[in-house]
Each structure stands twice: as structure tokens, then as C-alpha cells.
Amino acid sequence: MKLKNKSILSHKTILVTGGTGSFGKAFIKRVFEFYSPAKVIVYSRDEYKQYIMKNTFSEILGKEDMLKLRFFIGDVRDKDRLHRAFKGVDYVIHAAAMKQVPACEYNPFEAIKTNIHGAQNIVDAALDRNVKKVVALSTDKAVNPINLYGGTKLVSDKLFISANAYSGLEGTVFSVVRYGNVAGSRGSVIPFFKNLIDNGNTEIPITDYRMTRFWITLEEGVDLVIKALEESKGGETYISKIPSFKITDLATAMNPDCILKEIGIREGEKIDEVMVGKDDSRNTYEYDKHYIIYPQFDWWDESKYFLKGGKHIPDGFEYNSGANTEWLSVEELRDRVTKLISNT
């Protein structure tokens, strides 16, 4: 029997919105593998995905842990349902969102209902139910947004950060974790390239040869969320320090003989991913493996909330995938993609 680690998560009830997604499944698997939760609740609106997830986890978890894994049908748009679901919950991970850029552009009212109104509902339900901590997942697209998805997530981030003003000294702690597209996740470029290669295509479309991205795995995303759960005091935005890569190098790593064809940048797409904007640099501190953007509000008390060990970054600094100091070579990308595909 594997010994479980002592943690803030031990013997606590944890709820994950959008829990049937890639992050939710990876996070919940980690929680049961290394900690001893009292209960883990998957909150999502697709009963079929919950059915599939329950069957999958029944094969990897023991009977005792499966009794702790609960499935709750609900939508973050439904405040009353959230209020019911949050009863007795200690920690909430908010991963539910409309994430596809074209879908948000074509259905703006729906994106606003889920990403903005849903965020407000999470805040209200957490405050009313005395949840200890909420960690909300964000995206690079919330920094200097140029599409509706990024705009809604910017508002969502602001809601969660400002929510700390309503908590009081002993109330709910709200923080944000920000990262870009997860390597190999649904809708990311790796499965798109792989599908083309598997179908015999020798030509790979590249929207812009200059395009760069950060490389982050699901495991690294989970690490950062757990770190935020364990140490956040309220209002922080956590960003991992991770390597960058060129999209052209990724295509070459996946098929050295491929022909690259530039097809033009898509609406709402950026050349580089930006995790910390220049205007946020005044409130950003660099730590060993991550950055933290601290809030700038009267209620934020530096003497109580500031996490020691950080170095204030220079004014005007931008954490940008195109200006990063750490890069993955074609060979390193090939090794990482091979491992990623073999584990899926």
C-alpha cells in the first residue's frame, strides 16, 4: 500500500468544476495517488463524460477511493446548483470554461454566460458556503486580449482577485493560476500535426513561421495549482517558468521530412504567448520556478500576504514566449513529443 503524503488536501473535500476535462482528470488522479482526500467532487454538465470518467477511474482506483469520488451534474451558470454542490466543500478548482476561440467569437453571449457570469456564481457560492480556498484556471489569452475568449477570461480573473475584498480576515481565499495551451491537450497543435502525419500528409500548415509557444504539461499545470492551494493568501496570479519552442521546430521534430506551408495567421491568434504583461511587471515577483503577480488593492497587506523569497522583476518586463531565455531544440521537442504520445 502506497503511503500518502500529508498535505493541505489531506482529509479535505475538493470540488473541480469542469472536472471531466484534461486538467480535471489529471488533477483528480494526482490527488488520489499522493494524498488522502475525504471526498472529491466532479462538477460538470455532460453526463456522458462523467459516465466515461467514472468507468475509467474505477479501473485505476481502489474501492475505498471510488466511494470518495462523487459526480455532480451542474452548470457554473446555475448559481443555485453551485450553492447546493458547495455544501461542505473545503477547496474549489475552477476549470470549467468555454475555451475554443472560434466558438466564443461566434457565440459571444454564451461565452459571457459561462466564463464571466459563471465566475461570479463561483465567487458567490464559495463565499456563502465558507469554502476555504478557490483556485481559478486562467490563460495567456487573458493578457492583452485580442479575442472574446481572452476578454472573458480577463474579466473572470479580475472577479476572482477582487473577490478577496468580500472575504474578510477568515473568509474564502481566491487566487488564479495562468498557463497557455497544454502540450498534447485536446485542440492543441500536437494532435493536429499528428493526425496530418498519420494520414500521410507531407505538408504541414503553419499559420506564421515566427510563431512561438510555451511548453507546459498537464503534470506541471497540476503542480502549480497545488502550490497555489497550499500557499496562496489571496489575490495572487501564479505563472510557471517554462521553456519556449518554435512552431516550425515542433513540426520538424514530428516529421523531419515535412514541407512547411505558411497559410496566414487566424483571427484572434497571437504570434507569441504572453503570461505577464508589461503593465503587470510593477506587481510581479520572480521565484525559483514561477512568477507571482500580486494584487494592487487597499485590502492587500504586504506584511501579511507577501510570500518571501521573491525578487521584484524590472519595470516593463514581459514574460513572453518569443523573448524567453529557455528554449527547446528540435531534438528535445522530439523526445518530449514521443514521451507524450506514448503516455496517451
- Which among 294, 287, 284 has a CA at the least distance from the CA of 308? 287
- CA distance linking residue 306 with residue 92, whole number of Å: 22
User: Are the CB atoms for 132 and 113 separated by under 8 Å?
Assistant: no
Kindly state the cell numbers that stand for 326. 529557455
Kindly state the cell numbers that stand for 135. 483556485
DSSP state of 266: P
CA 191 to chain centre: 19
- Cα angle for residues 71, 23, 108 (degrees, 5° grid): 90
- CA distance linking residue 5 with residue 13, whole number of Å: 16
Q: Is 261 marked active-site?
A: no
The active-site residue, picked from 12, 133, 141, 246, is: 141
User: Are the CB atoms for 315 and 220 separated by under 8 Å?
Assistant: no
- Cα angle for residues 249, 254, 260 (degrees, 5° grid): 55
Please give the sequence-ordered ranges of beta strands (E in DSSP) within 69-130, or none if there are none. Answer: 69-73, 91-94
Number of Cβ within 10 Å of residue 180's Cβ equals 23
User: Are the CB atoms for 144 and 104 separated by under 8 Å?
Assistant: no
3-class secondary structure, 6: coil
- Cα angle for residues 292, 297, 168 (degrees, 5° grid): 95
User: Are the CB atoms for 84 and 91 separated by under 8 Å?
Assistant: no
DSSP H helical segments within 129-279, as ranges? 148-162, 189-198, 218-231, 247-254
The residues that are catalytic are: 141
